[in-house]
Amino acid sequence: MKDRVILHVDQNSFYASVEMLRRPALKTVPCAVAGDPVNRHGIVLAKNQLAKQAGVKTGEAIWLSRQKCPDLVLIPPDYSRYLYYSRIARELYNEYTDRVEAFGIDECWLDLTGCPNDDGFAVAEIIRERIKNELGLTVSVGVSWNKIYAKLGSDLRKPDATTVISRSNYQDVVYPLPSEDLLYVGPATSRKLRRIGVRTIGGLVKVGPEFLRVLFGVVGLSLYAFAAGLDTSQVAKSGREVPVKSIGNSITARHDLHTERDIKAVTYMLAESVSSRLRISGMAARTVQISMRDYELHNFERQAPLRFATQLCAEIAPEAFRLIMDNFQEGQWIRSLGVRACNLVQASKLNQQSFLEDEKHREATLRLEETIDTLRGRYGGLSVRRGISLADRSLTEHDIRKENVIHPVGFFGP
């Protein structure tokens, strides 16, 4: 049976590369796309090659990056622009196959199996040149017979390169790599593997699936399959909608929260964004979840069922606030808060949920919140405000939906 031909295309330093297109002078200085240090969103999201050479790393705090690179130029993220270039790139990929699966905003798998041109290396080289000439960006491409090895290949040589991992070379190329190079081998898994003497992908294969199952449960079997090149997961068909499992927003406050008024103001601001996004997505939530991180960086999560599946801030926000206050301890200072709508269902499939008078009130509230969505869409997210948000504008002067960070889609789905 002929092997599949799968590509993984990774746009190099994507956010920073897009910013350098807009401002070519950034190519001559170390720069990074980062959150807002004033608002304490001080994390590096992407960096250019000069910043990388200075030791700047994606995901680290801005203050640490500036210690390494005092001349680092910081650029605020522009997600709408990044989405535009991401969409253009996917349209280009679709010219070669109808199976293009996004893995975040800047990565895609392509399955060329059965396509008129199924020469993986040749197509990868064509795509690299077209992205460079038509978009002004660069990509690294991995070519293999499975998705995991294709992604490994795109990570091996950056920027602007193609790496083929084939049946004939995979043991020489893949097995010597550190185990943490494998998808979903994070720091905790890596530490656990090192305690039993496993430091490479080849070492992970050598211990075998049963031992890994005992060590990690069913996830251990997936890790073995990933490491040994046995992954058979399919590349999703282009345009397939991945079911959304949750919608949430979180924020690191400009100053720690310790009063009920401040906590309520931030909670309602987040819940308004979540409920608006539910309505845009045509979804309703049956569960609300809150997350907190205090000044000692201790994380905490709680969730509760909602009375009805809902898209209403008027129902999500009070329950989220109750969850927070029920678990808030006097003297505690909250650094960041999150509100998430979970256990989602399609709103169009909901039947009338109550025959009581309050159902009419819920319908009127929905119409009101939809009207506010329209006004904010036309005049800006801060054009209609709750009174409580005006008590401390430093906490609530945010257009949360506009500032929402884009997170990658997980390999096993969102």
HEC string for the chain? CCCCCEEEEEECCHHHHHHHHHCHHHHHCCEEEECCCCCCCCEEEEECHHHHHCCCCCCCEHHHHHHHCCCCEEECCCHHHHHHHHHHHHHHHCCCCCCEEECCCCEEEEECCCCCCCCHHHHHHHHHHHHHHHHCCCEEEEEECCHHHHHHHHHHCCCCCEEECCCCCHHHHCCCCEHHHCCCCCHHHHHHHHHCCCCEHHHHHHHCHHHHHHHHCHHHHHHHHHHHCCCCCCCCCCCCCCCCCEEEEEEEEEEEECCHHHHHHHHHHHHHHHHHHHHHHCEEEEEEEEEEEECCCCEEEEEEEEEEEECCHHHHHHHHHHHHHHHCCCCCCEEEEEEEEEEEEEHHHCCCCCCCCHHHHHHHHHHHHHHHHHHHHHHCCCCCCCHHHHCCHHHHCCCHHHHCCCCCCCCCCC
Q: What is the pLDDT of residue 164?
A: 98
Domain membership of residue 236 (yes or no) is no
Return the minimum-mean-pLDDT range out of 58-62, 217-221, 284-288. Answer: 58-62
Q: What is the pLDDT of residue 405?
A: 43
Q: What is the pLDDT of residue 101?
A: 92
pLDDT of 319-329, one tens digit each? 999 999 998 88
Please check whether residues 156 and 23 belong to one and the same domain: yes
Q: What is the pLDDT of residue 63?
A: 84
Domain membership of residue 7 (yes or no) is yes
Domain membership of residue 38 (yes or no) is yes
Q: What is the pLDDT of residue 356?
A: 52
Please check whether residues 302 and 389 belong to one and the same domain: yes
Task: Identify the domain boundary among 128, 143, 174.
Answer: 174
Domain membership of residue 367 (yes or no) is yes
Please check whether residues 257 and 169 belong to one and the same domain: no
Domain membership of residue 209 (yes or no) is no
Please check whether residues 142 and 277 belong to one and the same domain: no
Q: Tell me: pLDDT of 403 over 80.
A: no
Q: Any idea what the CATH number is for the domain that residue 267 is in?
A: 3.30.1490.100
- Higher-confidence residue of 397 and 340: namely 340
Q: What is the pLDDT of residue 406?
A: 43
**Residue 107 structural domain:** 1-174
**pLDDT classification of 14: cutoffs 50, 70, 90:** very high
Q: State phi, psi for 255 to the nearest 5 degrees.
A: -145, 155
Q: State phi, psi for 291 to the nearest 5 degrees.
A: -135, 145
Q: Any idea what the CATH number is for the domain that residue 90 is in?
A: 3.30.70.270
Please check whether residues 253 and 387 belong to one and the same domain: yes
Q: For a pLDDT cut of 90, what percent of the chain falls above it?
A: 54
pLDDT of 78-133, one tens digit each? 877 888 899 999 999 999 999 999 888 899 999 999 999 999 999 999 999 999 99
Q: What is the pLDDT of residue 42?
A: 66
Q: Give catalytic residue positions.
A: 107
Task: Identify the domain boundary among 146, 174, 202.
Answer: 174
Domain membership of residue 239 (yes or no) is no
Please check whether residues 109 and 252 belong to one and the same domain: no
Q: What is the pLDDT of residue 314?
A: 94
Query: For the packed helices 313-327 and 358-379, what is the interaxial angle rounded to 10 degrees?
Result: 90
Please check whether residues 291 and 153 belong to one and the same domain: no
Q: What is the pLDDT of residue 407?
A: 43
Mean pLDDT of 10-33: 94
Q: What is the pLDDT of residue 29?
A: 96
Task: Identify the domain boundary among 155, 174, 193.
Answer: 174
Ramachandran assignment for 343, one of left (phi > 0), alpha (psi -120 to 50 degrees), beta (any other): left
Please check whether residues 51 and 162 belong to one and the same domain: yes
pLDDT of 119-157, one tens digit each? 999 999 999 999 999 999 999 999 999 999 999 999 999
Please check whether residues 357 and 256 belong to one and the same domain: yes
Number of domains in the chain: 2
pLDDT of 254-306, one tens digit each? 788 888 999 999 999 999 989 998 888 788 999 999 998 887 767 788 999 99
Please check whether residues 153 and 8 belong to one and the same domain: yes
Q: What is the pLDDT of residue 408?
A: 44
**pLDDT classification of 414: cutoffs 50, 70, 90:** very low
**pLDDT classification of 40: cutoffs 50, 70, 90:** very low
Q: What is the pLDDT of residue 357?
A: 55
Domain membership of residue 412 (yes or no) is no
Please check whether residues 255 and 170 belong to one and the same domain: no
- Higher-confidence residue of 246 and 205: namely 205
Closest CA to 233 of 147, 143, 120, 112: 147
Please check whether residues 24 and 154 belong to one and the same domain: yes
Q: How far apart are CA 376 and CA 279, in angstroms?
A: 14
Mean pLDDT of 45-52: 92
- Higher-confidence residue of 4 and 378: namely 4
Domain membership of residue 194 (yes or no) is no
Return the minimum-mean-pLDDT range out of 21-35, 211-225, 300-314, 369-383. Answer: 369-383
Q: Tell me: pLDDT of 205 over 50.
A: yes
